[in-house]
Structure 1
Amino acid sequence: MSHPSSCEAGSLLSDSSSPPFLSEMTASCFGEAVAVFTINVGGGRYTLPRELLASHPESRLGKLACCSQEAALQLCDDVDFLENEFFFDRSAQTFQYVVNFYLTGHLHLREELCVSSFLQEIQYWGISKRRIGSCCRGRYRRHRGQRCRLEGWRAPAGEGEEEDFAGACCPALRRHLWDVLEKPESSPAARAFGTLSVSFVLLSVVNMTLISLDWGGGTSVGGVGGVGGVGGGAPRLLDALEYVCVAWFSAELALRFCCVRDKWRFSRSVPNLIDLLVVLPFYLTLALDNLQGGSGELENVGRVVQVLRLLRALRMLKLGRHSTGLRSLGLTLAQCYEEVGVLLLFFGVGISIFSTVAFTLEYHLPASTFTSVPMAWWWATTSMTTVGYGDVRPDSVGGKLLAFVCILSGILVLALPIAVINERFSSCYRSLRGEEASQQRRHALRRWARGSVGERSSAEGVNLNHVIITGEHSACQSEHV
């Protein structure tokens, strides 16, 4: 550490009313005197030369090395000009990477750090995210993309965010309904509602399967079933169950829409769009059936109705609101579109090559099943995916050897991107589990703050310490991934 210059010493010995570290000092004298800076970040002290900090003048410490005394007070939280020590109330762990940036000129990101928190820290220190090294840039982009897609799957009020009903109509009633609809762990009524909702989804899927069976002659009620019945008994019961399930889904969606304050954000949420697609085909089918019955000129309405009825299979996606595994699968597919594209490209190239060669080897043989190149494409597709229906098969020795190479290539092509997709799925699953545990912890803390945990702990079995420990453990696992 350098000794104070003459002007600094004179200023320190002067009889002024200001504290020593706020004594008068010219900008040029301050810059010449401080040759070594002592940076204190979160209790950790780092001694850095002025030339090293000044090499990055766009950063906060670079500005500190080249500024006046008054400007230095604005760049740090506290300062002691006697010791040339500057205090910053920031993360000491992240500052180690900032120091490494000044030494090497590159930022590096380790696995155990939270990328979002790291980005906030480097923004404070005035370091651009473009400085992140190429070896860590892929991890940074992958994490940011995962967080953005996770936002799309969150509840309309924001997962982990408390919906504000202050100033709204009937705030107590809307808050209670919102907790029942969106927070299954908040109360026994909410858990019962979540269980009932899942039961209706499963009942609807089973009912849709039974409706497709051939029950004999007759017409089902309302034409909703789409398959004739005997005019009573099972078909009428199945149609009635269909109406009950759709009424439940519609009421659930309507209640959510009425409770939430931000209608636009609610409409853009992925789970709510799925809920809308679940009930919309039923009402469109009902309207088209009535329109078809009143006009004989609409010949293609029946085909449209059949297509709309196929959309009822989307009801299984409603389980994604209650299943972490299904949400993880959706996030993985959205995040691994590049890997899926590479997989399809590999398959396309392999199918084109093997189908052309197989057709050339087999088409001239008597009773050959390779009648055209599209048939050879079908054979190559089933072979590379190791399905092998056997409807198209090679008969010659060369064709069988080619089939062996085709199957082996399919196994290798599938194995290459599957490991990456599996890793992403595990990462998404752990992240969602960590989010759920953290959300339960925040809800328990809010109820405790409102004085409700102590009153209902015996009835609900709320263990605040267990929730906090579980949430922190899951969140740490999520950040580590």
Structure 2
Amino acid sequence: MPIISNANHDFSNLSVSDDSSLDHIFTEIPETETIKGVYYQRAQFIRHREDLLSVDHGLLALINVGGNRYTFPWSTLEQFPLTRLGRLKPCSSLEEIACVCDDYDETQHEFFFDRSPNAFRVILNFLAAGKLRMLREMCALSLHEELNYWGVEMAYMERCCKRKMYTRIEENAELERREEERRQRSLQLRPPAEETRYRKFMNHLRDTVENPQSGLPGKIFAVLSVLMVAVTVISLCISTMPDLREEENRVSFNNKHRHITKLNCCGKEHGDVIVL
């Protein structure tokens, strides 16, 4: 089954408000029918680790996607040579395998892909049954990203799903275009800031305080800041020492005693009675 690409399509004449502008894309490739009776011959989900012992790696490719293991006959992957899984067949070295998948277990002959196992259900159904359909719980843009990663063309997607995806992609592109225009318009309306001497000084002062790599003043300020923090921490630690606390309590008691004595003397001179 050859890979058909839509890379040469011109989407500039598409319109979100009018779905009829997408019809010429969907009529190029007719909807495919599900291949009956060969689903489990083309893909198998490994439910138990002991099932890995019976895998013939010469005939089957062991694929691990986000922790879920599947086996695909190499003959199935050969039918999709431009997909990421199809590119595993001609790999003859670890360097070539590393360019296709995220990891490879030489002992188990297991190819690991760090991708969403839920999104891979779309790819699994396509390879096994020949049907490429969107999942209801999956974002159209996320599915588009997954299809690009696995190298599966949207030309194989069913008509209704393809319409939803193209419409959602166009809506997102239109939102990004409007956001960029709004940003450019705000930059044009904003008056340019005058580079006065005061502004230069404030910019230099801000760089000195925030960026130690701005120059020698910034490095000196950073060193002084670290020293001040260190002195503060050391002084707090010293103040908690028992001997020093006893000395502070003794000095405080003597000062309080002298203050009371002074009050008593003043009270006697004026004939007052001081009660403590």
Q: TM-score per shorter chain, which class?
A: 0.3 to 0.5
* TM, length-normalised to structure 2: 0.45
Larger proportion of helix: 1
* Structure with higher RCO (Cα < 8 A, 6+ apart): 2
Normalising by structure 1, what TM-score?
0.27
In terms of fraction of residues, the more strand-rich structure is 2
Higher Rg of the two aligned structures: 2
